[in-house]
């Protein structure tokens, strides 16, 4: 194929000179403000590419020396996703020699249904500036007839317009009535704590959401009992800036001493001097204990040592011993502890000073000296009288807390004035406008119904929830999507599936992305996914991770086994957590009860440190979970195409209480390759309600009887 001609340097310089002279001519009329370029750097797709050197992204990169070109056939198209609906005014096409004779400019709000804004059958190539009108998020050039024997080729595809449908949104502002702020002189603190606890103690699926914030200082004689959808935090830059001489307590009196349903609550950024020397934090899933300093011991069991089903500690210092007692599994990351006692099945530590030595399966300790990559959760704090959000820096091979030892915390601060403070009643359209406008998002406590996807497409955007703010997608939309951009931080909120099936509830990055985000990855921290329980809910997949290098640091992705709207088909959700991106790290991965695979890992070089799973309780019979010739779907499946993957401290449990005769082939499924490695795996039958035949693939002894003794593998292969 002969080379195609390119514009000469002289021609390009001449054009630039003419443009400059036109601007400088005296007496010219004052031009109106130019429309905003919306398309540059946005996610873009095309029907085809001529080769690897002419990708679709080259048409929106702002570089007139790079281009997209298609295969040599009709029709072909290229489309850009602007991230949010915008009022459009102009499209500029900078064609290479290989241009379109006949084409359309098409607009869409959803990427599926298109309307024509411009069409021609006499395209001349070169630079074509087209005035258009319409509101759309997606814009497409659809070529139907080529002007040359080659394909379609664009140096640049530029879309101009204005974003948002209303006035500029303000940043900052009031945090609302359910954010309760105390300082040491506030009267009646204990009474207010007790009032909220009385309301939230057993409100497992209620709509109440609360955030307690304690200004720096010392507070005496408090016992903050923490119920459902309640978060308690200090407002200092260090946990030691805010000291409670007293306790922050979670117990299980509401559930007869059983802590296995103590979900959805948190404690952060406080120092505690427990009254009797030991604080009690008897929780299970979705109840993080972050950035805490306990000047004494920490008891993770309920009063009476009833059952508890696992939890998470990060970036915390416990001066005394952590009493694990009846906790079935637990993960502790980048912390410092005075000691650890007991363990049931699966206790995992990474980067934790004072952690017990590696001992799995007896004692059941999996201990990594460091955490490969970590970045702590953003948090709200007071700088004088000004609210700011601190965004901690990434750490590599981390060990111990990110604070203390007299060193300043590493990271950056963002004033609240740069956040859109989302309050109940805010629409998805307004939320998207705020992001497009350049604001971060701070969700105040509440339940938010969204009729369209929240689009987080700006690099470095922080989305932070207070008081377990809850997002519910209506009409089967995906609740939130993150673009193919660096450094997004999602933290501290719950996504609750709606009654109309959503294809997914949270997506990190677009499908098929090839962008490297290692220098500044997206982090997903204390973001919880729920399908059913609070009412009917359906979703094909809970969370999908497409972006490379993403860190998922503590999530509970749960298809409900109790509550309202629960049944094998009623809250149908086949897959919990799907990873398509490469180099994704999960630290503290809890995924339970999905109809098919709980975890599907398709990306290369994935790593998981700690995994807790229960297979779906409510499978009606063996045939309902049959996976071709395999009995049941693995809890954690690594695709056969994957060459490198590694996991530490992974457990799967079955409790088939509808049909206890169900047999599960294995808890884990992975290709047998040198680069695919697992350490410290276990499967458990709870009370003999169903059994596993193997641990991973066809390896590992079967479970049997009713004694809940795990079958374990220390190393695979």
User: Annotated catalytic sites, by residue?
Assistant: 614
With vertex at residue 433, the alpha carbon angle to CA 432 and CA 438, rounded to the nearest 5 degrees, is 100
For 19, the enclosing helix (H) or strand (E) is helix 9-24
- The string of DSSP codes covering 179-214 is EEEE-TT-TTHHHHHHHHHHHHTT-TT-S--EEEEE
Classify burial at 385, counting beta carbons within 10 Å of its beta carbon; exposed 0-12, middle 13-18, buried 19 or more: exposed
Rg (CA), the chain: 27
Give whole-number Cα distances, 451 to 26, 337, 529, in Å: 52, 45, 18
Strand ranges for 574-698 from DSSP E: 575-579, 585-592, 599-601, 606-614, 636-638, 645-654, 663-664, 668-669, 676-685, 691-692
Choose among 279, 282, 288: nearest CA to 253: 282
- CA 345 to the chain's CA centroid: 27
**Which tokens is 126 given?**
């070169």
Q: Are 320 and 278 in contact (CB under 8 A)?
A: yes
**Which tokens is 13 given?**
């310089």
Q: Are 492 and 377 in contact (CB under 8 A)?
A: yes
Q: Are 563 and 531 in contact (CB under 8 A)?
A: no
With vertex at residue 488, the alpha carbon angle to CA 486 and CA 492, rounded to the nearest 5 degrees, is 160
User: Which residues have a Cβ under 8 Å from the Cβ of 640 and sit 6 or more positions away?
Assistant: 671
Choose among 572, 553, 439, 425: nearest CA to 492: 553
**Which tokens is 116 given?**
């024509």
**Which tokens is 419 given?**
């956040």
Q: Are 525 and 312 in contact (CB under 8 A)?
A: no
What is the DSSP secondary structure assignment for residue 4, as one 8-state letter? P
User: Which residues have a Cβ under 8 Å from the Cβ of 650 and sit 6 or more positions away?
Assistant: 346, 608, 610, 611, 613, 636, 668, 678, 680, 681, 682
Strand ranges for 546-622 from DSSP E: 551-559, 575-579, 585-592, 599-601, 606-614
Per DSSP, the three-state class of 24 is: helix
**Which tokens is 312 given?**
């998470």
């Amino acid at each position: 194929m002969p080379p195609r001609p390119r514009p000469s340097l002289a021609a390009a310089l001449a054009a630039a000179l003419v443009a400059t002279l036109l601007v400088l001519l005296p007496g010219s009329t004052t031009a109106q403000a130019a429309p905003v370029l919306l398309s540059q750097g946005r996610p873009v797709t095309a029907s085809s590419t001529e080769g690897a050197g002419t990708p679709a992204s080259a048409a929106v990169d702002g570089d007139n020396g790079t281009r997209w070109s298609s295969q040599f056939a009709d029709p072909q198209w290229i489309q850009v996703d602007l991230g949010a609906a915008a009022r459009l005014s102009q499209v500029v096409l900078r064609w290479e020699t290989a241009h379109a004779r006949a084409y359309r400019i098409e607009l869409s709000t959803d990427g599926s249904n298109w309307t024509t804004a411009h069409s021609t059958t006499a395209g001349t190539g070169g630079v074509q500036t087209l005035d258009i009108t319409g509101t759309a998020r997606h814009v497409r050039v659809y070529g139907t007839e080529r002007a040359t024997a080659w394909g379609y080729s664009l140096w640049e595809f530029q879309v101009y317009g204005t974003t948002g449908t209303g006035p500029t949104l303000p940043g900052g502002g009031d945090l609302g009535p359910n954010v309760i702020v105390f300082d040491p002189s506030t009267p009646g603190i204990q009474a207010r704590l007790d009032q909220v606890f009385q309301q939230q103690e057993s409100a497992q699926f209620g709509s109440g959401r609360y955030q307690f914030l304690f200004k720096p200082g010392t507070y005496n004689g408090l016992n903050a009992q923490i119920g459902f959808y309640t978060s308690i935090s200090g407002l200092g830059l260090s946990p030691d800036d805010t000291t409670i001489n007293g306790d922050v307590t979670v117990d299980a009196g509401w559930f007869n001493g059983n802590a296995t349903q103590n979900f959805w609550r948190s404690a952060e950024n406080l120092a505690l001097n427990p009254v009797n020397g030991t604080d009690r934090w008897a929780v299970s899933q979705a109840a993080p204990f972050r950035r805490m300093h306990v000047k004494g011991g920490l008891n993770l069991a309920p009063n009476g040592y009833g059952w508890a089903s696992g939890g998470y500690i990060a970036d915390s210092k416990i001066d005394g011993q952590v009493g694990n007692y009846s906790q079935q599994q637990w993960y502790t990351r980048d912390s410092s502890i005075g000691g650890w006692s007991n363990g049931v099945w699966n206790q995992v530590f990474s980067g934790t000073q004072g952690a017990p030595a590696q001992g799995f399966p007896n004692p059941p300790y999996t201990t990594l000296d460091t955490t490969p990559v970590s970045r702590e959760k953003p948090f709200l704090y007071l700088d004088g009288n000004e609210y700011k959000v601190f965004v901690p820096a990434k750490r590599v091979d981390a060990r111990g807390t990110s604070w203390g030892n007299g060193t300043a915390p590493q990271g950056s601060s963002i004033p609240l004035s740069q956040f859109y403070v989302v309050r109940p009643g805010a629409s998805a359209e307004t939320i998207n406008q705020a992001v497009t406008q350049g604001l971060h998002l701070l969700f105040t406590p509440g339940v938010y119904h969204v009729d369209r996807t929240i689009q987080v497409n700006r690099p470095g955007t922080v989305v932070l929830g207070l008081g377990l703010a809850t997002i519910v997608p209506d009409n089967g939309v995906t609740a939130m999507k993150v673009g193919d951009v660096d450094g997004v931080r999602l933290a501290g909120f719950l996504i609750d599936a709606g009654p109309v099936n959503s294809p997914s509830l949270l997506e990190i990055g677009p499908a098929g992305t090839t962008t490297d985000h290692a220098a500044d990855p997206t982090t997903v921290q204390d973001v919880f996914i729920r399908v059913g329980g609070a009412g009917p809910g359906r979703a094909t997949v809970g969370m999908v991770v497409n972006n490379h290098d993403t860190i998922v640091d503590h999530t509970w992705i749960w298809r409900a086994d109790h509550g309202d709207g629960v049944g094998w088909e009623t809250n149908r959700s086949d897959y919990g957590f799907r990873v398509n991106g490469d180099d994704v790290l999960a630290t503290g991965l809890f995924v339970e009860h999905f109809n098919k695979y709980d975890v599907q890992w398709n990306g290369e070089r994935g790593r998981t440190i700690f995994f807790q799973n229960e297979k779906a309780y409510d499978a009606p019979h063996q045939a309902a979970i049959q996976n071709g010739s395999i009995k049941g779907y693995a809890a954690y499946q690594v695709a056969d195409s994957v060459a490198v993957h590694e996991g530490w401290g992974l457990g799967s449990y079955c409790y088939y209480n509808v049909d206890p005769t169900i047999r599960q082939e294995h808890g884990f499924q992975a290709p047998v390759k040198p680069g695919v490695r697992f350490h410290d795996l276990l499967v458990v039958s709870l009370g003999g309600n169903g059994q596993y035949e193997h641990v991973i693939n066809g390896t590992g002894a079967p479970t049997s009887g009713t004694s809940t003794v795990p079958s374990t593998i220390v190393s695979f292969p």
